[in-house]
Amino acid sequence: MVIYSFSLFMPNSNYDEDIEEMLQEMGLSSWEELFIDIPQEARKGGINIEAMDEYELYRYALKLASKNMDFFKMPNFLGAGVYFHYIPPAVKEMVSRSEFYTSYTPYQPEISQGLLQSMFEYQSMIAELTAMDIANSSMYDASTALGEAARMANRINRKKEILVPENLYWEKESVLRNYVKGLDMSIRKYPLNERGMIDLEALQSSVNENTSAVYVENPNFFGVIDENVLKVKEFIGRSILIVGVNPLSLAILKPPGEYGADIVVGEGQILGNPISFGGPLLGIFATKKEYLRKMPGRVIGATKDVSGKRAFVMALQTREQHIRRGRATSNICSNEALCALYSTVYMAYLGANGLRKVALKNIENAKKLMTKLRSIGLNAPHFKAPHFNEFLVDLPGNPYEISKKLVERGVHGGLPIPEGCYRDIGNAMLLCTTEMHREEDLDKLVNAFKEVI
């Protein structure tokens, strides 16, 4: 096999002759034939590669990048699982150290003590934040963490049904269905009350002898801080209680471990990870000590080496990568350690008081936006209940069309919720605020709504 390499920056290279030789070697008659698999409509008038020097290429790349409309050019109010929070430069500086940045699974603990310690600290912080006994060293994301939690509940009690709220986000529900399909588990939904909270009596009547687990969220998909989650354990008998959380909200809300949660899942991207066009993400997973050996993923432990000094090891490795496939609790093999490290450094840098301030600022901005939207005649929020940083606003028309018109006015709205998507909710939009939004950002959205509606 002959491998050809070309430099566009070498003035003395005979580019055309080299291309001709390459095509002959590949048995092709033309440059176009090389790209015959690319549909003609996708070629935009053909492939035209022009040589340019390094600085010219740099300027060209800048020109292309300028077309991106980031948060500061176009205020963004989209949440629904992935959130734009401020990440202190110190976090990125620490995480970018080569010892962390290039590391993978620490198969050899004796040479991976730094990485293992960071993962141990991550587990400790998540366990404290959720008030659970133990946390693993991360999952893929919140959706797959929920899927793994449902499978874990089945391993604990061998029952075949999981109850979920009627407003479970459709993307999360899709992942959950895929995860439990092989177990022949069924998914049933329980209703919310008029305040967007769990209907406890209806939930109780939905639980039966085949119910393996009940999944609740706080805040839920509509951003409602659900006061009824504090009582759910009393209404579901011996079923496993799985609680989905926004980890930032736990800086000010009662942690699920204090109201009977058996498993806690959530999205760790919120804690110091960039959005990065929607990934990679970080799944939080914590549980009670009694269920440790039923938990998926890996657990880092602290021990002592032969000299009696503190040392860190992978204490539990239930991935099929490490043990027999038939005994593995999960086939999760991706490495999310870098994302977990982002969260570890972020939480350590802000501390408990810092996290609390950020959480309160999120609530404050949400309340400000609600007030401004009501001033132009919109019903915000849809539910008369406490909210964290997301809420539904009712709209008089198609939310997708309204969203497009908002973008035309230089502001990105929230997640469109079309009529009929959820019971008793018409056309609406799920708006999200974070500490990143300033007064002028809120005003820009409100003024755009005023023009559109």
pLDDT digits (tens, 9 = 90+) for 46-85: 556 678 899 999 999 999 889 888 899 999 999 999 999 9
Architecture of domain 352-452: Alpha-Beta Complex (3.90)
pLDDT score of 1 more than 60 = no
Mean pLDDT of 384-411: 97
pLDDT score of 98 more than 90 = no
* 89-347 CATH fold: Aspartate Aminotransferase; domain 2 (3.40.640)
- Residue 128: band (very low, low, confident or very high) from pLDDT cuts 50, 70, 90: very high
Tell me the angle at which helices 170-181 and 142-157 cross, rounded to the nearest 10 degrees: 40
Contacts of 177 by beta carbon, 8 Å cutoff, 6+ apart: 187
pLDDT score of 3 more than 50 = no
Residues pairing with 417 in the sheet: 428
For the chain, give the percent of residues with pLDDT over 90: 72
Structure tokens at 99: 């010892």
Mean pLDDT of 213-232: 97
Give whole-number Cα distances, 311 to 103, 113, 304, 305, in Å: 18, 7, 5, 6
The pLDDT value given to residue 15: 67
**What are the counts of helices (DSSP H) followed by strands (DSSP E) for the chain?**
13, 12
Residues pairing with 135 in the sheet: 286
Give whole-number Cα distances, 203 to 29, 177, 258, 307, 324, in Å: 69, 20, 20, 55, 39
The residues spanned by each domain of the chain are 15-58, 89-347, 352-452
Summarize pLDDT for 292-335 with one digit per residue, the tens: 999 998 899 999 999 999 999 988 876 655 666 677 777 665 66
Which of 100-114, 197-211, 425-439 is predicted least confidently? 100-114
Which residue intervals of 165-316 are DSSP H helices?
170-181, 200-206, 232-235
Residue 226: exposure state from Cβ atoms within 10 A (0-12, 13-18, ≥19): buried
The pLDDT value given to residue 277: 81
Contacts of 24 by beta carbon, 8 Å cutoff, 6+ apart: none
Summarize pLDDT for 231-247 with one digit per residue, the tens: 999 999 999 999 999 99
- Residue 364: band (very low, low, confident or very high) from pLDDT cuts 50, 70, 90: very high
Summarize pLDDT for 260-279 with one digit per residue, the tens: 999 999 999 999 999 988 88
* pTM, to two decimals: 0.87
Over the chain, what is the mean pLDDT?
91
- Residue 5: band (very low, low, confident or very high) from pLDDT cuts 50, 70, 90: very low
* Element containing residue 446 per DSSP (H, E): helix 439-452
pLDDT score of 342 more than 90 = yes
pLDDT score of 289 more than 70 = yes
